[in-house]
């Protein structure tokens, strides 16, 4: 399946991916309204230390420990698309998926709501917003059939 | 191929999904003494506190059984397993034959000997029916005061729900701290303080010896001699594997049904998974019952695949819990109270924020941790435990707020993230 | 510390209605001109740190930022301008030389802008380059006095030549003065476009060896990174005598820019200053230069053309004539507006002469002395657009070096702070955090686009003149007319005034 891969050698650590993630997952889809009127948690984690930085998001992995661990059945992996996504209405914020995800890619809602937040690869659209808006092409969206070490 | 699964919770559902990964055709029968389609047991406290409806507790959508071609016999007990004729007998005398049988009967409440424990308004808190019973007892008796025996996960989830229902709650616990199975003393003290702030009273190092009252409970008498009034009581001392169903068979039972890595019992074509089973605990390197939801699902999944002819192993069992009370979250896993000095312990504590982090290492590998009130990215540690990855070189970073993949060597990190 | 008398050069204006406090600006500013105030819960600015590089403005997702010149007025004075006063304050603070980067920004006359191009009307019809072939191929190198062919029909005794698909090369910029990602962008673009790029005095980083056929390797006064393999790796060798931005002075790469990779490539210890002396200590005459030229030819088996790069100075014509006689195959002349990674401001802004005049003078002199076929002329400093290139070719240039324009394509916004090593665009820096901001994959595309665009425009202009090969325009000064120029200027440029 197509996934988002980070190329840390080109990551600026600017976090524009977060900004566009928030915007794309907002009701208004308007960057200023998303930040000033809505409470939207970015689904990306940008790790930065010294000169190294990269964006990390759900790997939509095969084994999906989060799906297996989810106590409510809110987290599911779509068999066709491979996308791991959660049903916001079923999620009770027990954080079992946070316990289970070996990438630390599942976040708590940043505004105190008892619900998680994680990458859905912008399920409805073509290229995820983070990839589309990365100013330095440090995020790529592609299907890597063969495992690749960069 | 006829598959029979006894039990309709995480392990049972996992088994259905496991079987169907391999065998789309074979007949699957699920039998459960509960009348409900699969629901999330951990949500019964949310149900009791009116946070979720019964509908919202469904673990799988209604069409699950149809879609997977499962014959669900719900609300009926299995009375006997006949290993020789490969059939199970139901309480209505129906016989169901199997080619492969999975016992996924979960846990049963452990109830110590106590006088008067059979009075009305005394409940366990394991199943949806328990929550329903408590809710109706509160309503009918206009209950105001509850005594809960046991400050483990179940007792405290019950306590939280009942506080939210407006009851006066007292928790009696024999140990010297709350959540003794998943927390150390320091973390337990922080949690207890938080729970006390939320209104729960604790009586530690004591236990109930008698429930008072005529038909209905009206109070409890403690070992220390103290007496407490109550019009409701919950017994949440613990859970033990629900092994009664294999009585009369040759299935080996220790604490639970003994299974190998393939979730097979010692008897051909009989498997066990979930809280009833005693599988491999990778951290203690020995057999153990690990009664937690993700473990149950995973075991069920592997058992299901193997029942259908695959050759999968499950050796990733270890205790882990994510739980929270009154917005105080915690994630703990593995060995958190090391007994010997072959373990190394890293601790970070910010008392005023109720933040406590503890990581237990052995031979440079993580074998357990407690994350209290700052649970973000805890799964990275869970993953490291599972992988048994050496962390000696990044030991000093493990407790940092910004600990993450960036702390690992580039080669490992890029390989992981390229998956 | 006493009061620093300098005022900010720029003021950052932030539209708080648009600002979403995403802090991209703060993360992207190596000069720390933006910061988040936890108490006020909003972004704030430190104007005095701002160099107006536009990184924040370009990346701000809500267009909340504007940078303006600091609106502080000095009392009107045509002599003691604000710039003069602030320079004095800076030197009174530090006691140092005023340093700067990029080319001379002063408002001295730009001759390109006083030269107009011709076009065909009615007779000698113009050509549509989209319909008819148009040749930009340029071949640099010494040409024989007369052409003789061997049995196979090849030119006899033809000295080594450089073949370019378009009359443009990337000017010398060393790895050290610019980042490895900038080097890679230029090298790969040169490779894909059939051009040349130039290592400057930085040696050849191992990552650039794949592009060696498109590399001009430079030998300068510090001789950094020069070894047998290096000389033979390039398609041509350039001896750098001078640079338009700082004629007569050497170079100085501060030790903090000499990291692991730069140290390896330049073959100097890590962390030490890389000082290129003002002169080559083995060149005190044209004869000495000849020795070096032939030493290099000898070292490379006479297979590589040797170029000599000089700054355009007063006697440039005589110097060029000497270089041609000394055996150079190419002379590169860098005008006084040429760029630099670091130069003393006073030198950059006051030493040397405009490239347009130098080019015309050199081309004329070489023709007078029948030396023109012995060398190709490459000019630089500064070529800003395709029209400048056409004018340069008509004045007598065979090709041009572009450097500043290529860097602008890579993101440079001409803040002129290259010498600080804090280039926010990842170009003039060795700080790994900043270097990675320039993704060479993107860089290559941008630079290629620029060259492609310019090449198209050159073809359009040629077509307009009714010319279908750039070769036919070389030294064809009849295609040029001057405007607002004195008799003397027209005489030096060798062109007529508009209307003549």
Give the closest of A16, A36, A51 to C61, CB-based.
Answer: A16
The mean of the pLDDT values for chain B is: 95
Starting from the edge strand earliest in sequence, which strands make up the sheet with B168-173, in order? B122-123, B232-235, B145-149, B168-173, B201-204
Which residue ranges form the domains of chain A, and what is each CATH number? 1-57+119-150 (3.30.70)
Are the beta carbons of A90 and B382 separated by less than 8 Å? Answer: no
Contact C37, C87 (CB under 8 A): no
Q: B320, B291, B327: which is closest to B160 by C-alpha?
A: B327
Are the beta carbons of C61 and A31 separated by less than 8 Å? Answer: yes
Interval C173-187: pLDDT, tens: 999 999 999 999 999
Whether the link from the prior residue into C382 is cis, omega within 30° of 0, is: yes
Domain coordinates in residue numbering, chain C: 10-96, 114-497
Q: In this model, does residue B271 exceed pLDDT 60?
A: yes
The mean of the pLDDT values for chain C is: 95
Contact C266, C335 (CB under 8 A): no
Question: pLDDT at position C252, please?
Answer: 83
- Residue A140, min C-alpha distance to chain B (Å): 11
Please name the residue ranges forming H helices in C70-211.
Answer: 82-94, 180-193
Q: In this model, does residue C386 exceed pLDDT 50?
A: yes
Question: pLDDT at position A146, please?
Answer: 58
Interface of C with A in 260-319 (CB under 8 A): none
Q: In this model, does residue A145 exceed pLDDT 70?
A: no
Interface of B with A in 142-181 (CB under 8 A): none
Q: In this model, does residue C323 exceed pLDDT 70?
A: yes
Question: pLDDT at position C2, please?
Answer: 73
Interval C98-111: pLDDT, tens: 999 999 999 999 99
Per residue, the 3-state secondary structure of chain B, as one string, reads CEEEEECCCHHHHHHHHHHHHHCCCCEEEEEECCCCCCECHHHHHHHHCCCCCCHHHECCCCCHHHHCCEEEEECCCEEEEECCCCEEEECCCCEEECCEEEECCCEEECCCCCECCCCECEECCCCHHHHHHHHHHHHHHCCCEEEEECCCHHHHHHHHHHHHCCCEEEEEECCCCCCCCCCCHHHHHHHHHHHHHCCCEEEECCCEEEEECCCECCEEEECCCCEEECCEEEECCCEEECCHHHCCCCCCECCCEECCCCCECCCCCEEECHHHEEEEECCCCEEECCCCHHHHHHHHHHHHHHHCCCCCCCCCCCCEEEEEECCEEEEEEECCCCCCCCEEEEEEEEHHHCEEEEEEEECCEEEEEEEECCCCCHHHHHHHHHHCCECHHHHHHCCCCCCCHHHCCHHHHHHHHCC
Are the beta carbons of C28 and A9 separated by less than 8 Å? Answer: no
* Range A109-134 average pLDDT: 91
Are the beta carbons of C20 and A137 separated by less than 8 Å? Answer: no
Question: pLDDT at position C1, please?
Answer: 54
Pairing mode, strands C330-334 and C306-311: parallel
Cα distance between residue B379 and residue C322, in whole Å: 73
Cα distance between residue C376 and residue C366, in whole Å: 10
The ipTM is 0.94
* Range A105-120 average pLDDT: 94
| CATH code linked to domain C114-497 | 3.20.20.70
Question: pLDDT at position A124, please?
Answer: 64
Q: Which residues of B touch A69 (CB under 8 A)?
A: 293-294, 297
b/e per residue B156-188 (b: at least 16 CB within 10 A): bbbbbbbbbbebbbbbbbbeebbbbebbbebbb
Contact B371, B378 (CB under 8 A): yes
* Range C361-369 average pLDDT: 98
Task: Specify whether domain C10-96 bears CATH 3.40.50.800.
Answer: no
Interval B361-371: pLDDT, tens: 999 999 999 99
Give the closest of A9, A19, A20 to C436, CB-based.
Answer: A9
Q: In this model, does residue A125 exceed pLDDT 80?
A: no
* Range B101-106 average pLDDT: 96
Interval C283-312: pLDDT, tens: 999 999 999 999 999 999 999 999 999 999
Are the beta carbons of A15 and C431 separated by less than 8 Å? Answer: no
Q: In this model, does residue A149 exceed pLDDT 60?
A: no
Q: How confident is the model at residue C202 (pLDDT cuts 50, 70, 90)?
A: confident
Q: In this model, does residue A31 exceed pLDDT 80?
A: yes
Closest residue on chain A to C433 (Cα): A51
Cα distance between residue C89 and residue C91, in whole Å: 5
Cα distance between residue A112 and residue C386, in whole Å: 58
Give the closest of A53, A69, A102 to B380, CB-based.
Answer: A102
Closest residue on chain A to C25 (Cα): A14
Interface of C with A in 34-63 (CB under 8 A): 59, 61-62
> CA-based angle C38:C42:C47, to the nearest 5?
105
Are the beta carbons of A68 and B14 separated by less than 8 Å? Answer: yes
Q: How confident is the model at residue A150 (pLDDT cuts 50, 70, 90)?
A: very low
Give the closest of C20, C28, C433 to A35, CB-based.
Answer: C20
Which residue ranges form the domains of chain B, and what is each CATH number? 2-108+241-307 (3.50.50.60), 122-237 (3.50.50.60), 327-417 (3.30.390.30)
With pLDDT > 70 as the criterion, what percentage of chain C qualifies? 100
Question: pLDDT at position C26, please?
Answer: 97
Interval C19-53: pLDDT, tens: 999 999 999 999 999 999 999 999 999 999 999 99
Q: Does B373 touch chain A (CB under 8 A)?
A: no
- Taking every pair of Cα atoms in chain A, the longest distance, rounded to a whole number of angstroms, is 43
């Amino acid at each position: 399946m197509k996934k988002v891969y980070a190329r840390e050698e080109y990551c600026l650590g600017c976090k524009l991916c977060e900004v566009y993630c928030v915007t794309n997952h907002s009701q208004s889809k308007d960057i200023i309204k998303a930040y000033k009127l809505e409470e939207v948690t970015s689904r990306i984690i940008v790790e930065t230390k010294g000169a190294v930085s990269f964006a990390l998001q759900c790997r939509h992995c095969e084994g999906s420990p989060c799906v297996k661990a989810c106590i409510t059945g809110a987290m599911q992996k779509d068999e066709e698309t491979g996308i791991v996504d959660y049903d916001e209405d079923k999620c009770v914020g027990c954080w079992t998926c946070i316990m289970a995800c070996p990438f630390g890619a599942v976040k708590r809602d940043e505004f105190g709501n008892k619900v998680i937040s994680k990458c859905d690869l912008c399920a409805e659209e073509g290229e995820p917003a983070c990839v589309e808006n990365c100013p330095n092409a440090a995020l790529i969206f592609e299907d890597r059939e063969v495992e690749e070490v960069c | 191929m006829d598959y029979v699964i006894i039990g309709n919770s995480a392990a049972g559902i996992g088994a259905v999904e496991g079987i169907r990964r391999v065998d789309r055709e074979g007949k699957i029968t699920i039998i459960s003494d509960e009348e409900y389609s699969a629901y999330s047991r951990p949500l019964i406290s949310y149900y009791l506190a009116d946070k979720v409806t019964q509908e919202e507790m469904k673990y799988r959508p209604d069409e699950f059984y149809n879609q997977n071609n499962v014959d669900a016999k719900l609300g009926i007990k299995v009375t006997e397993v006949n290993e020789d004729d490969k059939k199970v007998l139901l309480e209505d005398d129906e016989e169901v034959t199997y080619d492969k049988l999975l016992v996924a009967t979960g846990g049963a409440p452990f109830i110590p000997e106590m006088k008067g424990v059979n009075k009305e308004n005394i409940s366990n808190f394991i199943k949806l029916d328990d929550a329903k019973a408590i809710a109706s007892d509160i309503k009918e008796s206009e209950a105001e005061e509850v005594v809960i025996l046991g400050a483990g996960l179940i007792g405290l989830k019950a306590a939280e729900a009942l506080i939210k229902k407006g009851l006066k709650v007292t928790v009696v616990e024999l140990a010297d701290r709350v959540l003794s199975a998943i927390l150390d003393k320091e973390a337990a003290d922080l949690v207890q303080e938080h729970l006390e702030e939320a209104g729960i009273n604790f009586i530690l190092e004591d236990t109930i010896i008698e429930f008072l009252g005529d038909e209905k409970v009206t109070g409890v008498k403690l070992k220390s001699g103290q007496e407490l009034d109550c019009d409701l009581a919950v017994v949440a001392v613990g859970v033990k594997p629900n092994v009664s169903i294999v009585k009369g068979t040759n299935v080996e039972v220790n604490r639970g049904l003994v299974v190998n890595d393939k979730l097979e019992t010692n008897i051909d074509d009989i498997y066990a998974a979930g809280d009833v089973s005693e599988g491999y605990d990778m951290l203690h390197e020995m057999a153990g019952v690990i009664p937690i939801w993700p473990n149950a699902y995973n075991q069920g999944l592997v058992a299901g695949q193997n029942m259908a002819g695959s050759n999968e192993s499950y050796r990733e069992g270890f205790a882990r819990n994510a739980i929270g009370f009154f917005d105080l979250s915690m994630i703990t896993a593995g060995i958190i109270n090391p007994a010997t000095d072959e373990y190394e312990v890293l601790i970070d504590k910010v008392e005023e924020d109720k933040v406590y982090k503890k990581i237990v290492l052995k031979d440079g590998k993580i074998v357990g941790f407690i994350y209290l009130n700052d649970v973000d990215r805890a799964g990275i540690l869970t993953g490291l435990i599972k992988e048994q990855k050496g962390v000696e070189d990044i030991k000093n970073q493990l407790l940092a707020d910004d600990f993450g993949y960036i702390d690992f060597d580039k080669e490992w990190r890029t390989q992981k993230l390229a998956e | 510390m006493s009061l620093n008398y300098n005022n900010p050069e720029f003021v950052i204006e932030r539209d708080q209605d648009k600002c979403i406090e995403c802090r991209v600006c703060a993360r992207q500013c190596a000069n720390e001109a933006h910061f988040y105030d936890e108490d006020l819960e909003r972004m704030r600015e430190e104007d005095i740190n701002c160099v107006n590089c536009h990184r924040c403005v370009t990346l701000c997702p809500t267009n909340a930022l504007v940078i303006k010149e600091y609106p502080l007025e000095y009392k009107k004075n045509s002599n003691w301008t604000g710039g003069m006063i602030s320079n004095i304050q800076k030197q009174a603070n530090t006691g140092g030389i005023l340093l700067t980067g990029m080319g001379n920004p002063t408002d001295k006359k730009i001759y390109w802008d006083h030269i107009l191009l011709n076009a065909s009307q009615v007779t000698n019809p113009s050509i549509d380059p989209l319909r008819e072939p148009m040749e930009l191929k340029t071949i640099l190198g010494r040409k024989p006095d007369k052409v003789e062919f061997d049995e196979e029909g090849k030119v006899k005794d033809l000295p080594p030549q450089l073949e370019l698909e378009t009359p443009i090369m990337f000017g010398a910029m060393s790895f050290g003065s610019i980042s490895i990602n900038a080097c890679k962008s230029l090298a790969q673009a040169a490779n894909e476009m059939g051009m040349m790029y130039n290592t400057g005095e930085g040696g050849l980083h191992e990552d650039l060896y794949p592009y060696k056929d498109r590399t001009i390797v430079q030998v300068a006064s510090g001789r950094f990174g020069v070894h047998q393999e290096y000389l033979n790796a390039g398609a041509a060798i350039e001896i750098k005598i001078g640079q338009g931005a700082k004629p007569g002075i050497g170079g100085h790469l501060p030790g903090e820019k000499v990291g692991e990779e730069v140290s390896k490539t330049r073959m100097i210890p890590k962390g030490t200053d890389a000082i290129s002396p003002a002169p080559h200590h083995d060149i005190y005459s044209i004869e000495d230069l000849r020795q070096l030229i032939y030493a290099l030819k000898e070292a490379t088996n006479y297979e590589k053309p040797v170029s000599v790069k000089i700054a355009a100075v007063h006697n440039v014509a005589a110097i060029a004539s000497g270089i041609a006689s000394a055996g150079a195959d190419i002379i590169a002349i860098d005008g006084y507006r040429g760029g630099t990674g670091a130069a003393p401001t006073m030198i950059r802004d006051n030493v040397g002469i405009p490239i347009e005049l130098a080019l015309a003078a050199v081309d004329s002199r070489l023709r007078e002395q029948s030396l023109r076929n012995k060398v190709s002329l490459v000019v630089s400093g500064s070529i800003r657009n395709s029209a400048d290139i056409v004018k340069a070719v008509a004045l007598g240039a065979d090709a041009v070096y572009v450097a500043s324009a290529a860097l602008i394509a890579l993101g440079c916004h001409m803040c002129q702070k290259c010498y600080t090593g804090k280039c926010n665009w990842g170009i003039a820096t060795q700080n790994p955090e900043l270097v990675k901001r320039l993704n060479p994959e993107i860089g290559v595309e941008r630079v290629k686009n620029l060259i492609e665009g310019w090449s198209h425009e050159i073809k359009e202009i040629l077509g307009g003149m009714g010319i279908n090969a750039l070769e036919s325009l070389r030294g064809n000064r009849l295609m040029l007319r001057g405007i607002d120029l004195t008799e003397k200027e027209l005489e030096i440029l060798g062109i007529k005034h508009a209307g003549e």
